[in-house]
């Protein structure tokens, strides 16, 4: 049985939504879906925005390997990455190797850099403009099983605005 507090009034039947009103004078639940602007209003490009959302975690598997991938998402978003900051929970004690690739979903096309200090290092990137579907893929090998490994991408991005 559902308990209904005395200060909530039952709504008249025949109207969609909730059967209870939080205020005596309101009808329905009072919640409405916000209006969505059409995609065509997003026509202004904002350039040079500091890259946000450029972080990808992974867990090092029992064989000492792990893979993390990250890339731009959203209509009209482009990334201009300058560096990949890699780290693991073992930190400086981790002697794993990390390789940074530029590619797409599971295809490692171009080796961008490599570090023998996979527990914490910064790898400079000379990557052209990245669009949707382009990924920066980091592969760790020789890591400590169970460690959390993370890649943070530093750079700028272009985004659409209205």
Q: Which residues are CB-neighbours of 116 under 8 A, at least 6 positions away?
A: 95, 97
Tell me the domains of the chain and their CATH numbers: 1-32 (no CATH), 39-161 (2.60.120)
- Is residue 141 within 8 Å of residue 28, measured between CB atoms? no
Phi, then psi, of 17 in degrees rounded to 5: 95, -155
pLDDT in tens, 72-83: 988 888 999 999
Task: Say if residue 13's pLDDT is above 80.
Answer: no
User: How much of the chain, in percent, has pLDDT values that exceed 70?
Assistant: 78
Phi, then psi, of 41 in degrees rounded to 5: -75, -15
Task: Say if residue 30's pLDDT is above 60.
Answer: no
Task: Say if residue 24's pLDDT is above 60.
Answer: no
pLDDT in tens, 132-149: 888 999 999 999 999 999
Question: Which of residues 61 and 107 earns the better pLDDT score?
Answer: 61
Q: Give the Cα separation of 157 and 127 in Å (integer).
A: 13
Question: The whole model's pTM is what?
Answer: 0.72
Q: Give the Cα separation of 22 and 8 in Å (integer).
A: 6
Task: Say if residue 86's pLDDT is above 80.
Answer: yes
Q: Which residues are CB-neighbours of 55 under 8 A, at least 6 positions away?
A: 70, 150, 151, 152, 153
Give 20's pLDDT tier (boundaries 50, 70, 90): very low
Residue with tokens 């099983």: 145
Mean pLDDT of 33-49: 83
Q: Give the Cα separation of 18 and 105 in Å (integer).
A: 44
Closest CA to 159 of 38, 18, 9, 50: 50
């Amino acid at each position: 049985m559902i308990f209904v507090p005395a200060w909530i009034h039952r709504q008249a039947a025949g109207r969609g939504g909730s059967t209870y009103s939080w205020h005596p004078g309101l009808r329905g639940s009072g919640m409405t879906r916000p209006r969505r602007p059409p995609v065509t209003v997003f026509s202004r490009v904002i350039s040079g925005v500091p890259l946000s959302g450029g972080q990808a975690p992974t867990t090092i598997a029992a064989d000492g390997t792990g893979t993390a991938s990250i890339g731009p998402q959203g209509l009209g978003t482009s990334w201009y990455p300058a560096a990949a900051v890699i780290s693991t929970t073992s930190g400086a004690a981790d002697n794993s190797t990390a390789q940074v690739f530029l590619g797409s979903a599971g295809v490692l096309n171009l080796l961008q850099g490599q570090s023998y200090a996979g527990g914490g290092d910064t790898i400079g990137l000379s990557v052209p403009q990245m669009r949707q579907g382009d990924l920066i893929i980091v592969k760790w090998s020789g890591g400590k099983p169970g460690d959390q490994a993370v890649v943070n991408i530093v750079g700028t991005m272009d985004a659409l605005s209205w």
